Structure 1
């Protein structure tokens, strides 16, 4: 795992789709990242080409073409290519993520491998290369770094076509040889040409390295290694490690023959021989010094490319005898004994050939596609329906812990493990992860917090701070939160917006016209320091006729305020329904006024009107409380008198 943390791509959303989580590795041509495809909610490996390549328009064109070809190649031993694209100066491939390690990591850790284990790695590699060759593709860079061994034991080949995309322009312009020199075929070195047999050569070199723990040609000078590939024959592995079975010596020498015409025609031909060699190995055969050599194997068949060095040709006598038997007109009774003598070995050999081919095909099928099936696409289905469908296809199905999701409805399949489309063994267990639906989050209480603190608390809860409005308030200081919308305690979908209302500043309550004792109580309850001044006035006694600061002026908490109360006129105060002699005017007899303080405003208005009074409602500040805090007049008054309520 690459530990570099200063990579500018880490944490970025590439192409609006791939969230780059970490860098896995960095090579000479590209860096590989672990990323999340947020559109399909799956983990992928992103191979991002270095900027020097991405700036070459010819390379980008070739790269896109190769990516399309590789994406069409579907094989259980090939790392799938999902997507390709560009984002600014980043050119990338989105590929199947295979958790595990490379074959190079295994070689560094263990050195050479036992013969059986080496073949069991090479067989799926050859199956992957064979599928590519059948599709008209050439890998061009077969090496242990491009072979992945997954944590669950699968073998995958990666980077098909990448060398061609890079080499198509660079080689003609600069003469650079594209590939890895340690595995490069002679024709790649001398002429820069490649075909399926070039991949076969590299596979032979890789098998040599698996069996011996080292490459056939080693030098600090790459040109020296290239020279050896052109002029020398790759030696038999047993010359370095005594005891390597002779059939593996023959396999390596045939695959890594210096002349391309002497190699198997493609990886499928080499695969047939490798499977046959695997069947011939004793179960406990190792490759340590002194290990017994296996008996000579039957000739490995190379159907399209001719036999390689060390492989005996077909028996000409047997062919001639069979021809004579089938075509000679003189074959009569006298010739019957001879014919029967010839037919016996022919039938035996033919039967043996049929059995060998069946075994090779069956074993090849086991190592390639026969033991694998694709995980069905169950996303978005009802969990029980998905369980039934997967079970019908032979999978063992488990239901995982539900996970909240904004888009997928509750009770439907959010994702599967393994993911849809992945090749798995037939006895694989599929885990269905249901959606728990959108996560519901309670709006937190942010009243009396600053805007910054309120936004942080809303974000921490999993919601999105929305727009901000400011209104005056008679209880909350400037800049602090008065309320939210939706209000505190509401249940919202994760990520939903919450708007914030801030105080534009504390304002002086409007207590003008209140009875003086009521006004003093209201102001003290709000934290003000109240001073009362008496003054002669035409207003009814004990009524507020002035206040300082003025109503709705901005103030601070605990501020000292002053109210001026009327003492009445010098000549004494008379209510409108009183005559000069103090008696009540005819038809103006006072009746009790209901005391509706601390009641709901609506209920208070209904009660006063029911008693025959007119009602006026006033707010102390910009936003009323909804509860009556003051009433004037109180006591008695004739029906039809106007009563003022404050809230």
Structure 2
């Protein structure tokens, strides 16, 4: 039977107020639970530091708790709609915890896992709210230090449902938590890098320092990931990834997603400059630039703003350009109006005279050309040439410049690229789709379709297959049934309530196990059976170790339990119980088997022959092998008899009687 590791906090009451209901997520520093504030009757989130994050020494732990408390007070003062509110803080079992606003939604990491990447409008909308929260922290003198998708929560949109990311409410969590843990880690282990390497700023790697521009860099990397579906650097070891931030410039997002606007590329480049002095000064400055770019993308014909460089060519500044409207004559100033009356009439007369003179000249030219045979022949030849040119031009523009699109559907990506290259075509790629029948990286569809007309050397858009969609069974062990059911439904899986089992660790109604197991890859719509806990079993197994086997049998029989015995060699007396399974105190049902390890007694040893040896020598031989000796009759004589006899197996320590004459 598989055993899941229990979460002992589930169902417990913290500080006499917060009842832990279920586990939401477990991170590198802390675990987040949903809880009920029994005083205010509301749902909250409780984040409690892992035991491994707190220093073991009492003095260091006290210092850590003090720093954590100070950070919590600072965070609690951040009253901003895009910051996860902090309601309370304290310690439980010596470990610090925070009580925070419970946000009903998903992390940005969950959104990116589902969507892979976002369109620019969605990415900029999320970045705008994210930066608004970080800017509020910067104004309060607080640096986040760990900006990443896992710390950005995307709540359900007030309009349009959860899929409408532009209208979703974004909240940022974990302000100051990384700093409190880092300060404790520095006292224990010296200077450490407490940041996620995929988003870490170069100065945090090389110098270990952080300021608001560090958060600006991390926010730029998050924006890059939202636009492209990946982070800019990867590697086999975290230290390799961290140093790529120091040694390399972040690539333009359009190198991975060609359709992205240049304004977005420039925005990411300014936020992720390696030199912190050339980045926007804080999140508020970057927020202003995001708003400018978002306005430009939302109205492509507007001239609301452009970005220019000041003298040091480092800091972008939003500056409106001039909007030039058509000026009607009536709106012109006095010094710019056209002359009235005679001036206008003279102008019209000159125009009319010029028109009449040109018409007369054209009429005379026609008379001269058509009055001559050569002229008429030249006109006919010109008409034929013009007709041929028109026919050839019509054929070219109507048919000649077109060809037919090749058949690329069902080919692999490599085969499609080779065939398109042979025909001189350029390929573009649409958003890939999952398909149960078409293998991954094979062509699902093309536009234009095969055999359709296409310009020679034109562009064909391909849709590639992602293969069958597969999902890992999420970790819902330790959660109550309703929360686990919601999480499985959100993951496109079908929750099924299975047979409940007794558990010593988990309270009744909490998920004890899943079938398939957590982490197993399944298709969308697969059924996941939830095995629930029935709480502690009604019978407690007694402690039988050290008791005689018959006594242990009687005790188990009275409780309705069944003994199963196995024997092993031991120095303990024969039939003494050496071990048991389940252990004492375990809750079990009636009829459960209890396995007992029983002693076979000490291993026997063989008595050596001492007959015919001098009595004292015989005594020495026996005592050297651990046998007590009893000498009878003449101690100085010769051994004539021994009991037990030679080669007799006996327990260790058996007394051997030697008769000497």
Query: If the length of structure 1 is used for normalisation, what is the TM-score?
Result: 0.44
For the pair shown, which has the larger CA radius of gyration, 1 or 2?
Answer: 1
Query: If the length of structure 2 is used for normalisation, what is the TM-score?
Result: 0.44
